[in-house]
Structure 1
């Protein structure tokens, strides 16, 4: 099924049903096919590709993968597309989003499907799963390269930290700002508003919520890392997005000769590595 506009997506998204659904925001053509393949393998039976003009995607898409054809690139691609999707989803339907060249991992992803994780969180009375963006990067940054190499992907095993998130009246309850990865090591090349690595990547849709420009949700409880009574499940998004930006931006491209450092380790493409490093946790799900 193709959607011809954001308005068409909102009007007909309900026909996709209430099963967990993922939107992939295609900023460019990098690793679109592998992004789709990974998320089908973790259990998303419904995927919508948001495709701006001039971005090529595979002409033949697998069953359950739909295309949103945008007539222009919105100023804020994520908020425009995800919020149009939310507005058309059934209330309570688990909804997720990622960019191309990003790969969502949930606890025990090799043996348990994403729908099982979401069902557990529903039983825990959680309407969102806080996710942390773990920057991936090529082991070697070739001249003119884009920093992406899925066959030789590396990540930081150290350097992650959190600071209290402040509101108008002081610290916000159970909310933190998380930092680390390439955005931390090369922060002089990253705008301050884009340095955080926390993102509410999975949530239950409701007509009264919206995705905000900083990857938080308009419902404050959805932005919390845990519920009031115990730890909650979290997830990770293994992402080449920062590497691509740093490799392409004229200022950073000239200054950065490579991404690997003493804290780099090969990325193993499995959820257990991320749990062992303390980058995501299963909460009460064993």
Structure 2
């Protein structure tokens, strides 16, 4: 199912956005594109939409299971503009996930429960958005994997994460139940990372509503969407396990030759299982058992 542009998709495929959950995958390059799409199909997303340059190819079996939209990533704003246009076209209440290629959504008990079950429970707790932590993945051996990507030998940091209170940029007042989270490669190699790209929190799961907009800092214009949890107890959180930062650090000329390994004393092999992420405190099951 291929669409020549986002305009064509929105004009002819409104039914795709009428009932979720819908996964929006933005392919900045073709690294692990097939595995990314397959991962989210396997999690039970009702629709998977892949936005990618026209020159990228997909395996034949995936081409019939995802909605492909040809998009050229001419600037960082293309992603946010596309998401906001899709939100505006979607039926209110539709659940969405957004991420990039070589990023994999994990949530508590995802090995036995679908993403639809996750979001149904979250909605019952009167939550319209879910906080996710972007957990940096990286290849154990950069000599063997110079692009820093290896699913078979993926590592993550087991320690080194922290949160700071978020403040209103205008008044300077502390924002209720909002935090800025840091850690992973963006923290350890912060000298190579732009200040605006160092946070690891992302509201990657959310429900469309009229007037909702995603901002370039991965927060929404609706304050409650940006909160860690509701006022009365902890809610579910999820993790986006991502090679994106590692790829960027090894491709950027300013950092590529300064980094010969991402390993440190707190590196550990990624087990590709939600239990490991919960044990490390990188996502929260809340009241969902």
Tell me, yes or no, whether TM beats 0.5.
Answer: yes
Per the TM alignment, residue 10 of structure 1 is displaced from its structure 2 partner at its CA by: 2.9
2:43 matches 1:42: yes
SS across alignment from 2:62: coil
Q: Which residue of structure 2 lines up, in the alignment, with residue 201 of structure 1?
A: 204
Corresponding pairs, count: 286
Deviations 1:153-177 (A, max 9, x none): 0000000000110102311000000
Q: Which residue of structure 2 lines up, in the alignment, with residue 210 of structure 1?
A: 213
Give distance in 2, aligned partners of 1:220 and 1:99: 24
Kindly indicate whether the alpha-carbon contact (under 8 Å) linking 1:107 and 1:271 is maintained by their aligned counterparts in 2: yes
TM-score by length of 1: 0.96
SS across alignment from 1:68: strand
Per the TM alignment, residue 180 of structure 1 is displaced from its structure 2 partner at its CA by: 0.3
Kindly indicate whether the alpha-carbon contact (under 8 Å) linking 1:25 and 1:77 is maintained by their aligned counterparts in 2: no
Give distance in 1, aligned partners of 2:76 and 2:281: 35
Q: Which residue of structure 2 lines up, in the alignment, with residue 188 of structure 1?
A: 191
- Match 1:267 to one of 235, 248, 270: 270
Per the TM alignment, residue 122 of structure 1 is displaced from its structure 2 partner at its CA by: 0.7
For the aligned residues, what is the CA RMSD? 1.6
Q: Which residue of structure 1 lines up, in the alignment, with residue 62 of structure 2?
A: 61
Per the TM alignment, residue 58 of structure 1 is displaced from its structure 2 partner at its CA by: 3.3
SS across alignment from 2:249: helix
Give distance in 1, aligned partners of 2:15 and 2:75: 24
Structure 2: give runs of 5+ residues left out of the alignment.
none
Give distance in 2, aligned partners of 1:57 and 1:142: 28
Q: Which residue of structure 2 lines up, in the alignment, with residue 103 of structure 1?
A: 104
Give distance in 2, aligned partners of 1:41 and 1:94: 17
Give distance in 1, aligned partners of 2:236 and 2:93: 18
Task: Tell which deviates more after alignment, 66-75 or 18-27.
Answer: 66-75
Kindly indicate whether the alpha-carbon contact (under 8 Å) linking 1:79 and 1:213 is maintained by their aligned counterparts in 2: yes
Kindly indicate whether the alpha-carbon contact (under 8 Å) linking 2:139 and 2:145 is maintained by their aligned counterparts in 1: no
Q: Which residue of structure 2 lines up, in the alignment, with residue 120 of structure 1?
A: 121
2:225 matches 1:225: no
- Match 2:241 to one of 238, 241, 264: 238
Kindly indicate whether the alpha-carbon contact (under 8 Å) linking 1:164 and 1:176 is maintained by their aligned counterparts in 2: yes
SS across alignment from 2:68: strand
Per the TM alignment, residue 62 of structure 1 is displaced from its structure 2 partner at its CA by: 5.1
Per the TM alignment, residue 57 of structure 1 is displaced from its structure 2 partner at its CA by: 3.5
Structure 1: give runs of 5+ residues left out of the alignment.
none
Per the TM alignment, residue 72 of structure 1 is displaced from its structure 2 partner at its CA by: 5.9
2:2 matches 1:2: yes
Per the TM alignment, residue 13 of structure 1 is displaced from its structure 2 partner at its CA by: 4.1
Per the TM alignment, residue 144 of structure 1 is displaced from its structure 2 partner at its CA by: 7.6
Kindly indicate whether the alpha-carbon contact (under 8 Å) linking 2:28 and 2:100 is maintained by their aligned counterparts in 1: yes
SS across alignment from 1:146: coil
